[in-house]
Amino acid sequence: MKTQHAHRLIVLDTETTGLSTKDGNRIIEIGCVELLDRRLTGNNFHVYINPERDSEPGALQVHGLTREFLADKPKFKAVAQDFIKYIRGSELIIHNAPFDVGFLNYELAKLPNTQSIESYCTIFDTLADAKIRFPGQRNNLDALCRRYSVDNTHRELHGALLDAQILADVFLRMTGGQFSLMGDGNEDHVAASHKENKTITRTLADRPPLVVIRCSDEEESEHNARLDSIQKVSGQCLWQRDIN
């Protein structure tokens, strides 16, 4: 009997010395968190890397990782095989994937006997997905945190592992299906863009009962007042119609 392997997702983020590899910029930090069947496992991958150069002023202001701090850290070639082994066969979840993938491929191309990152895994870009879901809106990680009520108040400076952990939370909320219940028109896109569940999973018969959280009298009063205000401004509030 075959063992069914859990779908393995790796949420990844990097920090770099600057914005473009054309200027010789390098990766200085890689942070990854693992999801198996959409659950955090705690099997993370995190490493600081010595880029053998200074960060550009703008980049340094973002991540705060100085050349002095990175001086005794391993070079990319020393961690490359461990990194490849960690991501091999997974699906990488990245926000603005072309940026991180471009830097990773730039580093891998410098080494013998390595291939492009796409040779080891598939890639899902949460920024591209968010632009389809929310066209014309801000879709950076901070904006998505606000939209999906993900707490990132502890994020004073960018850090690859911290940002990967935050992105994992955002990704789970983006693709969890809850918003499709609201009829936002994205159901077909969700099915097409992230083919994660290939079989129907039945709910266990002995699972704990679902907790139903009911609104308080005060919350119901505020809700009704809101509907009244909509009725007053628009002249018609669909939620106040009697349903026969």
| Per-residue pLDDT tens over the stretch 167-204 | 999 999 999 844 332 333 343 444 444 444 444 445 55
Average pLDDT estimate for 86-106: 97
* Structure confidence at residue 149 (pLDDT): 92
Strands of the chain, DSSP E: 8-16, 27-36, 39-40, 45-48, 91-94, 122-125
Q: Give the span between the Cα atoms of 23 and 52, in whole angstroms.
A: 14
As annotated, the active-site residues are: 158
By CB neighbour count within 10 A (0-12 exposed, 13-18 middle, 19+ buried), where does 159 fall? buried
For range 9-18, the mean pLDDT: 97
1, two tokens: 């009997």
* Percentage of the chain modeled with pLDDT above 90: 64
pTM of the model as a whole: 0.70
Work out whether strand 91-94 and strand 39-40 pair parallel, antiparallel, or are unpaired.
unpaired
Listed in sequence order, the residues at least 6 apart from 151 whose beta carbon sits closer than 8 Å to its beta carbon are: 145
Q: What is the pLDDT of residues 52-65, one digit of tens each?
A: 999 999 999 999 99
Q: Identify the pLDDT of residue 207.
A: 60
Q: What does the pLDDT read at residue 185?
A: 39
pLDDT in the model for residue 184? 39
Q: Is the pLDDT of residue 225 over 80?
A: no
CATH class of 8-193: alpha beta
Confidence (pLDDT) at 183? 34
Two tokens at 172? Answer: 């789970």
Domain boundaries, the chain: 8-193
Q: What is the pLDDT of residue 4?
A: 47
Least confident of 42-46, 81-85, 203-207: 203-207
